[in-house]
Amino acid sequence: MIRKNRPIWKLPDFEDRLEKILSTRQKLVLPPDNNITAAVLVPLFCKNGSRHVLLTKRSDFVEHHRGEISFPGGKLDACDITILDCALRETAEEIGVDPAHVRILGELDDFYTVATGFRVIPFVGLIPYPYEFRTSVREISGLLDVPLDVFFDPAKRSEEIWMIRDEPVEVVSYLWEGHNIWGATARILKHFTEITEEWQGVQDESND
C-alpha cells in the first residue's frame, strides 16, 4: 500500500513501481513524417539517499541545440538495430555509461522538437552511482545531477504559450541553480512527472 502524502518517487521501491507504470500504459507514438528520428535516455540514480536525474550541457561544437541542457542521446544511426540501441549507444558515446550498466524501466511518449524537426523517443533507465562518467569533449561541456524533487515542484516550473510559425506552442522550463532547463527536455520531464503523479492519485483513491 502507498501511504498517502508520501510521494511515490520517495518510496524505496520506486524503480519497480515505475517499471510497472511504464509497462502497463499505452504510450503515444508519433509518425516519423519528415522528422529526424532520435532517442534519448532519462538516466535516474540515487545520491545521498535521494533520487536524481542526470542531464548534459551540450557544447558549442555540436550541430544542434548548442549550449542547451538535454538528456544523453542522438540521431538514429544505420548501425542501430533498435531505437533503444540508439539511446544506449549515444549515452555511452556522450557520457561513458556502459549499456550493460543501464536498467531500462520503460518508454515515455514520443515528442517532436519544434525548432529542429526531430522526433524524439525517450527511454527511462536506472544507472549506478557513483560512476566514472567519461564525457565527450566535442559534444558535452558538463553534467548536471538534478534532484528529482525539482521536477515535481510546480513552483520551479514555468509554462508559456509561444507563437511559432503562427502555431501556439507550449514552452515549459525549469530553473535550477542558474540553469534553464527547457524545450523538449523540460516537456519530457513534465510528462514523466504527470505519469507518476496520475498513477499515484489512482492508487490513493483505490486505497480509500
pLDDT at site 53: 98
Is the CB of residue 12 less than 8 Å from the CB of residue 42? no
Asked, for residue 160, whether it belongs to a domain, the answer is: no
Asked, for residue 82, whether it belongs to a domain, the answer is: yes
Q: Model pTM?
A: 0.93
pLDDT tens-digit readout, 32-55 = 888 999 999 999 999 999 999 999
Kindly tell me the number of DSSP H helices and DSSP E strands found in the chain. 3, 11
pLDDT tens-digit readout, 60-99 = 776 665 678 999 999 999 999 999 999 999 999 999 999 9
Q: Is 121 exposed, middle or buried (0-12, 13-18, 19+ CB in 10 A)?
A: buried
The helix or strand, by DSSP H or E, that contains position 108, with its residue range, turns out to be none
Asked, for residue 201, whether it belongs to a domain, the answer is: no
Give the Cα separation of 125 and 104 in Å (integer). Answer: 4
pLDDT at site 206: 67
Residue 46 bridge partners (DSSP) = 51
Domain hosting 22: range is 8-148
**CATH number assigned to the domain comprising residue 29:** 3.90.79.10
Give the Cα separation of 20 and 16 in Å (integer). Answer: 6
Name the more confident of 39 and 4. Answer: 39
Name the amino acid, one letter, at 41: L
Is the CB of residue 93 less than 8 Å from the CB of residue 54? no
Name the amino acid, one letter, at 169: V
Is the CB of residue 136 less than 8 Å from the CB of residue 55? no
Q: How many folded domains does the chain comprise?
A: 1
Asked, for residue 96, whether it belongs to a domain, the answer is: yes
Asked, for residue 182, whether it belongs to a domain, the answer is: no
Give the long-range contacts of residues 22-28, CB within 8 A, separation 24 or more.
Answer: 22/105, 22/106, 22/107, 22/108, 22/124, 22/195, 23/106, 25/195, 27/107, 27/108, 27/109, 27/110, 28/109, 28/110
